[in-house]
Chains A and B, each alone.
Chain A
Amino acid sequence: MKPLEKGTKAPDFSLKVTPDQTVCLSDFLGRPVILAFYPADFSPVCGDEMSLYNEILPEFKKYNAELLGISVDNVWSHLAFAKEKNLHFPILSDFNPKGEVSKLYNAYNEKDGVSERALYVVDRKGKIAWGYISPIGINPGADGILEALEGIKQ
């Protein structure tokens, strides 16, 4: 599957981040947003990827960028995962209807019923600045994200 094209409008969404709070992409208009879709909480590779981004958070903040992790796990799983990994950014639950937002971003694996390992950087105006879909077993690192953020720096 190919990522959404650069320059197209990033589909808006509203997803739960805790049992009673939702986050919308449009909440962040005016700031770059990094969307990190990943297959599942608590699988060793994802833990690594989210832990890596957690570590790099201060760099993302230099670009005033917001990082949002997204998987199809439910909010309770997310809360436990965030606690165990000491994550300092929101992870959103694409749980019901399952994978709806992941599908909008060409980031849903129908066969396994999980999000792909996909990355997007959305610019201040809500347009796709960069997208990348990684082989599911490979942690894509953060060099692509940082390059994209550098590219849309004002």
Chain B
Amino acid sequence: MSLTVPVGEIDHIQGKENAPVTLVEYGDFECPYCLEARSVIETVKRTEGDKLKFVFRNFPLSQVHLHALHAAYAAEAAAKQGKFWGMHDLLFDNQPAFEDGDLTTYAQNLGLDMQQFTEDMKSEEIAKKVKDDFLSGVKSGVNGTPTFFINGVHFNQPSEAEFLQEAIESAAKN
């Protein structure tokens, strides 16, 4: 199973452009396992430094997690104002407080233009971005959250730091 849509301009990317290893996560802000994986990702970001580029794509399971879709919209709406990662972090820090009022508070905390944010939360463009992420995941065989790809290849092991670190180390050598 490999990544069908390569990492590109539409993606949210952390790390150096020319990093030898790209880690893509398909995640859902309301998913408890994604929250667990987040600390692992923070660890490998620290240990791997410039070797690693991290990409987050939306895979909201909206029928199981009733607020996941709006949370994804909030992250994408924040992205329109250059604050995707700020919102990404706030959402995971505050899981599962994702009522619309909560999302507004997070946007205010990030200092976003609130009129713009409110409009973007309802925009078709944002809805399409989230849906496109989801479908790119489905076509790449994503079967739940979180699902990781390391340099485009499905990472088929438990998402614990040691496994992820080892896989990243070996990808960096190749």
Contacts and interface: CB of A to CB of B under 8 A. Distances in A.
24 contacts: A48-B144, A51-B61, A51-B64, A52-B143, A54-B63, A55-B61, A55-B62, A55-B63, A55-B134, A56-B138, A85-B63, A85-B64, A139-B144, A140-B143, A141-B1, A141-B142, A141-B143, A142-B143, A143-B1, A143-B138, A143-B139, A143-B141, A146-B138, A146-B139
A144 to B, nearest CB: 8
> Main SS of the interface on chain A?
helix
B140 A52 contact: no
Which of A49, A52, A59, A146 is most buried by chain B, counting CB atoms within 10 A of its CB?
A52
Interface of A: 48-49, 51-52, 54-56, 59, 85-88, 139-143, 146
> Main SS of the interface on chain B?
loop
B112 interface: no
Interface of B: 1, 61-64, 134-135, 138-144
A142 B64 contact: no
Contact of A59 (B138, B140, B141, B144): B138
Given A86-B64, A142-B138, 6 more contacts: A52-B144, A88-B63, A139-B144, A140-B143, A143-B1, A143-B139
Nearest to B140: A143
A63 to B, nearest CB: 13
B144 A86 contact: no
A54 B138 CA distance: 12
Contacts of A59: 135, 138
Which of A49, A51, A55, A87 is most buried by chain B, counting CB atoms within 10 A of its CB?
A55
